[in-house]
Structure formats: structure tokens, C-alpha cells
Amino acid sequence: MTLEEYQHPYGFEGAVSPRTLMRGAALSTMAWAYRSTGALARALAKPRVQFLYLHHLFPEEEAGFRALLAALQRTQTLISYSEAVDRLWHDQLDRPYVCFSFDDGLRQNLRAAQILHEFGVSACFFICPGFVGETSPDKLKEICATRFKMPPTEMLSWDDVDAMLALGQEIGSHTQTHQVLSRISAAALEDELGQSFDEFKQRLGGVKHFAWPEGRFWHFSATAAKAVFAAGYESCASAERGCHISAPDWPRPNLCLRRDYVSAHWPLSHTFYFLCRGSQNASVANNHWPAEWTDVIC
């Protein structure tokens, strides 16, 4: 599969539609305004931690990924996912920090891990144990169509996972089989979380971090969030945009991590637009779950 054959539901991917062109032009204009007024430089200098995540890294995106890493290293401190969580947790955000993660466990993630290693950077790869090592063309077609909304593509093997760990990368859970957790029963929810946690413990010795599929609040629930921490995970990440400036002395289940989706084939200015906007809008409120969930989770 090529980049042209892939179209992500949130836009920017695959075939260029009029909507994509208009959105891209708007982002380019806003990014230029941020840079020309000095807002970008001010935002990038703010002490904070910003979580960026991707799904794929097609061969034609590798140059863009390297360019992004090099550009970020000029102004930001790139740290591992675990360090980002710990610095936020202990209120040690003394400079601008950025960390990376990848969702879904596509085999392309192995190449991403190799490039990250070249730059001395560690990321967290959120994968579904139920799909690791799957090679059946029919199963891959079904998984990619029903779970990822994409044409069939290879998934990571356990040997790939071991190779990524050897490169200093981290592995996190993305549920057992990438179910939308707000749409399944309580028993199925427990299985998706517990089976994933147990399999990672058996194969890798444990897992600390969790990110839920699709990533928006309407794909999750207070009950699911509580179950994540009950299963043994130490952090829980969304795909809600925004970054973090402080979370001192919080009970760990209170903290909801926000992540900004980016793509290696975007113009750098588009990624830096989201970095700037996230920094400008950062507040302690970004750490919170929806208000109506708090009593259930905590």
C-alpha cells in the first residue's frame, strides 16, 4: 500500500480533495501569521510538555519525518514518553518538551523506530496484542477495513516489537483488538483492557501506558477510564488536542493526557501551527477529564 491509497478519516491523507486543499491553505496562512508576528517563537519557548502522535510512516514520508525531528530538536527537548509523563506528574516542566507516540501497530512503525533511534529519540508505540503477528490476507483485510478504515497493510510481529525495544523504544497498549470502548459491553471492555495488559506482562514483562482507540472523549467513558487504571495501567492518553503545563500532586487517575495528531507528510508549518496553538491554549484544565466523569474515575 502507498500513501496515495491511504486516506485517514481526519483528513490530510491520500487523495487531494477540495476540502483538503482549502484546509491546507488555511493552515498555511495561519502558520505564516504565527511566525511573522513572533507568536510561534514565543509559543515554542514556553515550558510545557506536548505529546505528538502519528499512525503511519510510508517510505515517501521518511524524509519528512527526519525533517520534523531535526526541526523540533532546534527549539524543543525531545524526551521519551515515560519521561514526559513523569515530568508532568512531578511538575518538572522547566523547558519546552516534546514526545512522540504511534498508534495501531502497523509494521511501518518498525522503520519509524529505526529513524527515531538515529536521532537519539525514544517514542511509545501503542499496539494491539491481538493483531501482532497476523499474516492472513483475509484477516488483515478485515482488521484494516473494520478497525483502521484503511486498505490492508502489514502489522508488527513480536520479533519486530523486540527489535523496537532493543532500539530503546517503548510499547504501550491500544486495547487487545482496537475496539471503540464506548460501544461495547462492560464484559468486553474488561477483556479488551485486561487481556492486553496480561499479554504484554507475559511477553514483555509489563506495560505502563494506555491510549484508547480513536481517541476522542465520545469514543471513551468514565467507566472505561476507571477500568484502565484498575487494570494496572499508569497513564491514559487521548487524541484530544492540547498540551500540558502542570499537574502537581494529583492522584494519578485524575490525569488525562492530550495528544496532537500530526503526519510526516504535512508541511512542517502545519505541524508547528498545532504546536503553537496548543502552547498558546495550555492550561491546567487540559489535565482534566470531562467534569461529569470525575466522580466515577476518582
pLDDT tens-place string over residues 104-156:
999 999 999 999 999 999 999 999 999 999 999 999 999 999 999 999 999 99
pLDDT at 12: 43
Cell of 169: 523504544
Domain that holds residue 243: 3-297
Average pLDDT over residues 163-189: 97
Torsion of CA 174, 89, 80, 194, to 10 degrees: -20
Q: What is the pTM of this model?
A: 0.94
| Contacts of 293 by beta carbon, 8 Å cutoff, 6+ apart | 221, 222, 225
Cell of 119: 536521532
Does the pLDDT value for residue 234 go beyond 70?
yes
Cα–Cα distance measured from residue 245 to residue 65, given in angstroms and rounded to the nearest whole number: 26
| Contacts of 96 by beta carbon, 8 Å cutoff, 6+ apart | 44, 45, 46, 47, 48, 50, 75, 76, 77, 279
User: What is the DSSP code (8-state) at residue 127?
Assistant: E
For the chain, the average pLDDT equals 92
β strands within 202-254, DSSP E: 209-211, 235-237
- Residue 167, sorted as left (phi over 0), alpha (psi -120 to 50) or beta, turns out to be alpha
Q: How far is CA 112 from the centre of its chain?
A: 13
Q: What would the pLDDT profile of 252-272 be if each residue is shown by its tens digit?
A: 667 899 999 999 999 999 999
**CB-count burial class (<10 Å; 0-12, 13-18, 19+) for 152:** middle
- Ranges of H-type helices in the chain: 18-36, 39-45, 62-75, 81-89, 108-118, 137-143, 158-166, 186-204, 222-231, 268-280, 294-297
Q: What would the pLDDT profile of 41-100 be if each residue is shown by its tens digit?
A: 999 999 999 999 999 999 999 999 999 999 999 999 999 999 999 999 888 999 999 999
CATH number at residue 28: 3.20.20.370
| Contacts of 112 by beta carbon, 8 Å cutoff, 6+ apart | 54, 57, 65, 102, 123, 125
Structural domains in the chain (count): 1
Does the pLDDT value for residue 16 go beyond 90?
no
Average pLDDT over residues 24-34: 88
